[in-house]
Structures are given as structure tokens and as C-alpha cells.
Chain A
Amino acid sequence: MSVKSYAQAIRDVLAEEMRSDENVFVMGEDVAEQGGIFGCTRGLIDEFGAKRVRNTPISEAAFVGAGIGSASCGMRPVVELMYMDFTYVAMDQLLNQAAKMRYMFGGKATIPMVVRGQQGIGRGNAGQHSQSVEAFFMHIPGMKVVMPSSAADAAGLLRTAIRDDNPVMFIEHKALYASTEEVPDDPEFMVPFGKANVVREGKDVTLVATHLYVGMGVEIAEELAEEGIDVEVIDPRTLVPLDTKTMIRSVKKTGRAVVVHEGHRTAGVGAELASIMAEEAFIHLDAPIERLGAKQCTLPFNLGLENAVVPQKEEIIQAIRKTMHQ
């Protein structure tokens, strides 16, 4: 084990996978000498050269499309988008091409491409650099969707993503890059897709959370434990494929559930997760499922305004209490 940051864990897996498979390459905006603006590709160009660590023009549709083409020809591209907000510039390539080619072609195309980058709040990046995009990619069939919430998960899930034969949206969070924890040194360490992480076991309320809310959820659980509310915190880790079993088993045990994420609440991922739990565990529920997400306005610049839009710790605690009829 080594203590690493989330960013360093990503960088190390990229290097290890490029070492072990000559078809793996990295391209994106400022990934070469600059090492990516968050440092996730730092130093890769020194070891692997400019051909395998390619700076691209600011031209997302073209370089995502070139990633798709090269993947269908046998390469394993890892395409970095500087901000996940920029997926919208390349949405035709992502959702009309990458996600659909295998199906439309009757199973003939194989697209082993990872599109990775960060999203979310925390740096005052305002409306076009702070959004959460996962709901789009969960909604349209054909792409796997990964949301690591810790350094070790980032490492294990990224290796699984690079070795997966399907297009994968690997969604990082900018406010997690500096977070550190012990990460296995094993160059074969993988975290499987479709297996949720029960981060903390509890018997009273199920809290399903992604990205920053996983860590916050554990803090909340420790605080509420002192007053006798035992919260089980579940991180789905991958939205596609989704581990519904772990969530359903948990809510059948607790009879109460709260879902929280940073993406917009309206038609958000939480709506899907809450529906699944309601459909599969309705008779076990002791209270309506609570669902928290960003308000239905653009992410604002000002810190106070930003905090007013995304779920805050106190709101999550209130939602948990509400399910306890407190």
C-alpha cells in the first residue's frame, strides 16, 4: 500500500496500463508537457513520448471522434476532457456514435475507449465548468458510467475501465483530486464494475451517495450514531452497470432511504435510484424515500450561491431525520 492522492492514483494507473499494453494511449487538451491541468497525466510524456501522450487542439468533437475511430480499429484510447462540461461539445460523438455503434452494427464494433475528466463544484468555476453530467450518460444506453469517490477506487476502477471493451465515461470530481488514502501497489488491482461499496454499515437508514457526498455521508453517519441513528452509507461507484442488489438489500433491512448527489435533482440519477428502491422494496419502506440534488438553476459563481444550490450537510441530516419521522 502507498498513500496517494486521487490524482496521483489516476496518473499511476495510466502509466502502468501504458507500460503493460502498447495499444493504450492518452490524448486530450494539455495532457503532454502540462500533464493535464489537474496533473493526472504529469510526467507521462517523459516515459511514453509525444505519440502516446498527445496534446489535442481544443476540438472535442474531433478528438473524441478520433478516439472512437482508433478504438474501433484496435487501439485503447484514454481521452481526457479538461472539464466534463465539454462533453456537450462532443455529444454527437459520445451519444450518437460511441454509445450506439456496437448495437447498431449488430455487435460488430468494439469500442474500448475511456473518456475521463473531472466535474463538479468547489473551485468557483461557475455555470459551464461545474456541472454534473452523469445523468445524460446513464440515460442513453451503450456507455458505462463510473464515479470514483476515493483514491483507491479511482485506481481500481480506472484499471477496470481501461481493460473494458466498451466505451466508459470515467467521471472524476475536481474537489477529490487532493484527497489521499492508501492505495494498493499491485499493478493488477482492480475494482469491478457493478459492485457498490457499502462504505459504512448501519441498520436504520440507507444513504446512497456519490462523489463528495460519500465522505460527507460517513461524517454524518458518525455524528448521528451518537444520537442512536445508525446510517448505512452506500456508494454505487458505477451507475452503469448499476448494483441494484446491494441497494435493495440495504433498504429492505433499514426500511428507509435517502439519495444524494451533486447533479440536478430534476430527472437526476437519484430519481432513478429512488424509483428502483421503491419498486423493489416498497412493502419494506417505513417512510417515503428522500431525494436530494442540485436545485434547478445553473451552478452560480459566488461560493455562498453555489452552496445554496447543491445539497448541504445539514439538509442531508434533515432528510435522514425526516425518514425517521423526527
Chain B
Amino acid sequence: MEKERALWIYKTMNEIRKFEEKAVELFESDALRGSVHLYIGQEAIAATVCSHLRDTDYITSTHRGHGHCIAKGADLGKAMAELMGKATGYCKGKGGSMHIADLSKGNLGANAIVGGGIPIAVGGGLTADFKGTDQVAVTFFGDGASNQGVFYESLNLASVWKLPVIFICENNGFGISVPASQSTSVQDIGVRGGACSIPGMTADGNDVLAVDEKIQEAIARAKAGEGPTLLEFKTYRWMGHWTGDPQVYRTREEVEAWKKKCPIKRFKKYMMEEKIASQEELEAIEEKAQEDVEAATEFALNSPEPDPAKVMEDVFTDY
């Protein structure tokens, strides 16, 4: 992998990891409220996919969306401020952790309804088709969403209209507490593309290089007018479904085994072995990411609460 991209991916994965670790810390100290769903362990997917997207390309994200938003160019301060519900947050405190959107960067929004963002991304692809541009629309969702009807409807619609949409299923093994083996009729969700005549592929989501190879293929297909692709990336969430999850459904050993497959450490090892970057360079990136997250947190903590007098703003554009 070329150095510039590799370093960007590494920086982004570290920003996500440190942002999420900070979110846990803040949640535990009661600086955050609500449902916070952490992306720790899955960083390779968002960072690598978004390394191939421009601001003009679209994404939709999920309730576990911080990683996607950061990788699509979200400002860490505004994102952290939104987690705290502050006036300076992306949504002025009206959306919180699950609703960060930044249309200027092509982020059409995170979504708290499982599968809810999938057809919206199809609309992004439809827009590119109307405008005749080479934009692509990527929709991130989990293994749970692949059991929703709207997932199949969206695959079918994008397929019959040959739209430049890339469906990315991050299979982290659980829909809240229910293992995929109890909820999902297939071992590899990638095969579900076949139901709608879409190429479906399954790869290791903890391996930057595997994600990189598949996303490039999918983007090339989209830009060549060959239509959508379904990519399934197998991964694992290290934390509970949300910050308050007692996690009775899995063993510590299982979690520890997956931590050994850390996508960040793995990519760091690769870059050093391939001499893409030195240990010092990479450690400097890690430190910078930590500093940026600390600064974002300071910004958020020092930001004002939203004004209750403005609670009725933004229902409509005109009143």
C-alpha cells in the first residue's frame, strides 16, 4: 500500500480508537448520557473504506456510527460536543451519538433504526445516476440489519437500476446479545448479494489490506456503471452493544481472543515489516491522535448547553 494512504488509515483508526476510549471514560464519569455504541475493534473497515472516498461520495451510517463519521471527515470536537449534547455539536445537541450527519462531507447521517440508512444511500446512488457523475454511495450496516426487509429491497432496487451503491455489512457477530448463529440463516452474509444478482464478497474486516482490496473492486464496478456490490467484513466489537451492556452472552476468553486480532496493531506491524513507516513515525501519529481527542474533549466540555428557547428550531426549513 502507498505510504500516504497507509498513514491516513493509521491516523484515522487511531483517532477512532482514542475517541471511543474517551467516550467510555466520559460515560463512566457521567459527562455523557444516552446510548453510546462503540466501534472499538472494527476501525479497519471505516478507515480503509473512507480512505477511498471523496467528500462528494456519500455514506450512511448506523447507531454504531462514530467511526464512520470520523473516517468521513467529521471534526472531532464537533462530534464529541454532539455526544455531550452541546450547542456546538454537529446536531446542536438534538441528535446525540446516533445521529451525526455532515452533508458537506457526504455523510448523509448515522441512524438509530437498524437498516434505516440503507435505502437512503440508494438515493445517493440514484442522485449520482441522475447527475451523470462518478460519485459512489456507501452504506454501512451490521449483520443484524441484513435480516431486515429493507436490506433486500434496497439491494434489489440498486441492482435493477444498476446504481453506484456499495453495501458494507460489518459482521461483528452479535445483534445486541443474540449471536448471528441464532438470527441469521447464512454463515457468510456476502452470499445474500446473489439473491439480487449482486456480487457478494466476504473478507476479514480486521485486516486493512483485505478491506482495501475489496473496496477498490467495488468502487471500480460502481464507477464503470456495473452497479452495486455487497461486501461483508467479519469483525468483532470489543465492547458491549452499548456502554451499559452487562455482556452476559459471551465469555471474557472470547473477547480476549479477538483483542489479539486488533486491526490497529496488525496494520502497524505490517507497515513496519514492509518499511512503509518507522515505529517512531507511527508512535507520533498515535500521540497526535490522543492529543487531538483531548483537545476535542476540552472543546466539548467547555461548550455551552443548547438554549431551550431554540428547541422548536429545525423542524422545518421555514418555520
A-contacting residues, B50-104, CB 8 Å: 58, 60, 89-95, 99, 101-103
Instruction: Contact check, A66 vs B157: say whether CB atoms are below 8 A apart.
Output: yes
Instruction: Contact check, A69 vs B127: say whether CB atoms are below 8 A apart.
Output: yes
Instruction: Contact check, A165 vs B123: say whether CB atoms are below 8 A apart.
Output: no
Interface string of A45-74 (1 = CB under 8 A from B): 000000110101101011111111111111
Q: Is A104 positioned at the interface, with any CB of B under 8 Å from its CB? A: yes
Count, chain B residues at interface, CB 8 A: 46
- Assess A97 versus B116: contact at CB under 8 Å? Given A72-B103, A108-B103: yes
Instruction: Contact check, A106 vs B318: say whether CB atoms are below 8 A apart.
Output: no
Q: Is A179 positioned at the interface, with any CB of B under 8 Å from its CB? A: no
Q: Total A-B residue pairs with C-beta atoms closer than 8 Å?
A: 150
A-contacting residues, B273-319, CB 8 Å: 313-319
Instruction: List A contacts of B103 (CB < 8 A).
Output: 72, 105, 108-109
Contact partner of A65 (CB less than 8 A), chosen from B92, B119, B130, is B119
Instruction: List A contacts of B93 (CB < 8 A).
Output: 106
Contact partner of B119 (CB less than 8 A), chosen from A66, A73, A101, A108, is A66
Q: Is A103 positioned at the interface, with any CB of B under 8 Å from its CB? A: yes
Bound complex: CA of A67 vs CA of B94, how far in Å?
24
Q: Is A41 positioned at the interface, with any CB of B under 8 Å from its CB? A: no
Bound complex: CA of A103 vs CA of B93, how far in Å?
10
Instruction: Contact check, A144 vs B119: say whether CB atoms are below 8 A apart.
Output: no
Q: Is A170 positioned at the interface, with any CB of B under 8 Å from its CB? A: no
- Assess A64 versus B119: contact at CB under 8 Å? Given A102-B315, A108-B101: yes
Instruction: List A contacts of B116 (CB < 8 A).
Output: 65, 92-93, 96-97
Instruction: List B contacts of A165 (CB < 8 A).
Output: 317-318
Min CB gap B197→A, angstroms: 13
Min CB gap B160→A, angstroms: 7
Instruction: Contact check, A97 vs B120: say whether CB atoms are below 8 A apart.
Output: yes
Contact partner of B123 (CB less than 8 A), chosen from A23, A73, A103, A141, is A73
Q: Is B213 positioned at the interface, with any CB of A under 8 Å from its CB? A: no
Q: Is A25 positioned at the interface, with any CB of B under 8 Å from its CB? A: yes
Instruction: Contact check, A101 vs B94: say whether CB atoms are below 8 A apart.
Output: no
Instruction: Contact check, A65 vs B154: say whether CB atoms are below 8 A apart.
Output: yes
Q: B interface vs A, CB < 8 Å? A: 58, 60, 89-95, 99, 101-103, 108-109, 111, 113, 116, 118-127, 129-130, 137, 149-150, 153-154, 156-157, 160-161, 313-319
Q: A interface vs B, CB < 8 Å? A: 23, 25, 51-52, 54, 56-57, 59, 61-75, 77, 92-93, 96-97, 101-110, 141-142, 144, 164-166, 241
Apart from A65-B122, A96-B113, A104-B109: 7 A-B pairs, beta carbons within 8 A: A56-B157, A77-B123, A93-B116, A102-B317, A104-B94, A105-B103, A144-B316
Can you list 15 A-B pairs, Cβ within 8 angstroms, ordered by A?
A25-B130, A56-B157, A62-B122, A62-B153, A62-B156, A65-B118, A65-B123, A68-B120, A70-B127, A97-B113, A101-B109, A105-B99, A106-B90, A106-B93, A166-B316
